[in-house]
């Protein structure tokens, strides 16, 4: 399935700022993040993440879990030791606490999703190794 590479047609929330500095080291390719909800009163950070084609984050886990709501493009989600899952707009991914995983764009499409950090009081994401091109290419061939 070929997805339109024109990102402007799939933007619902602001694209945000390009990931730079130390955080850029946990991404392959370029990504942008816009924090949408940061108010401690709600205790539920919500952020829009946009990946360029082939862009992805490293393997990581969240002590309190995470929810992804796909809003545009086509991408991938994979848990450690399990097959990858293709993602498209409207898909919802519920990631349990401490499950090692990664997510990112397909090779021929931009990819955007809302990320929701659940139970943030349990701590920040734990980052692991890079998703290798070999691992990625097995999914997006």
| Residue 123 φ/ψ, nearest 5 degrees | 125, 170
DSSP string covering 51-104:
E-TT-EEPSEE-TT-EEEEEEEE-EEEEETTS--EEE-TT-EEEE-TT--EEEE
Please state the domain extents for the chain.
7-139
Question: pLDDT tens digits for the chain (141 residues)?
Answer: 344 455 555 578 999 999 999 999 999 999 999 999 998 888 999 999 999 999 999 999 999 999 999 999 999 999 999 999 999 999 999 999 999 999 999 999 999 999 999 999 999 999 999 999 999 999 965
CB 76 within 8 A of CB 87: yes
Residue whose C-alpha is closest to residue 50's, from 5, 98, 95: 5
Predicted pLDDT at 59: 98
Looking at residue 138, the DSSP 8-state letter turns out to be H
CB 14 within 8 A of CB 35: no
Predicted pLDDT at 12: 86
Predicted pLDDT at 11: 72
Predicted pLDDT at 8: 54
Can you name the CATH fold of 7-139? Jelly Rolls (2.60.120)
């Amino acid at each position: 399935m070929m997805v339109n590479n024109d990102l402007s047609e799939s933007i619902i929330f602001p694209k945000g700022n390009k990931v730079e500095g130390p955080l850029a080291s946990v991404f392959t390719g370029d990504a942008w993040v816009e924090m949408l909800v940061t108010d401690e009163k709600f205790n539920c950070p919500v952020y829009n993440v946009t990946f360029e084609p082939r862009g992805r984050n490293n393997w990581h886990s969240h002590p309190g879990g995470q929810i992804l709501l796909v809003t545009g493009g086509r991408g991938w989600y994979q848990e450690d030791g399990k097959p990858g899952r293709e993602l498209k707009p409207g898909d919802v991914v519920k990631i349990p606490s401490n499950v090692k995983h990664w997510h990112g764009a397909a090779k021929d499409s931009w990819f955007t999703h809302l990320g929701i950090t659940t139970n943030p009081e349990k701590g920040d994401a734990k980052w692991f190794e890079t998703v290798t091109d070999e691992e990625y290419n097995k999914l997006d061939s």
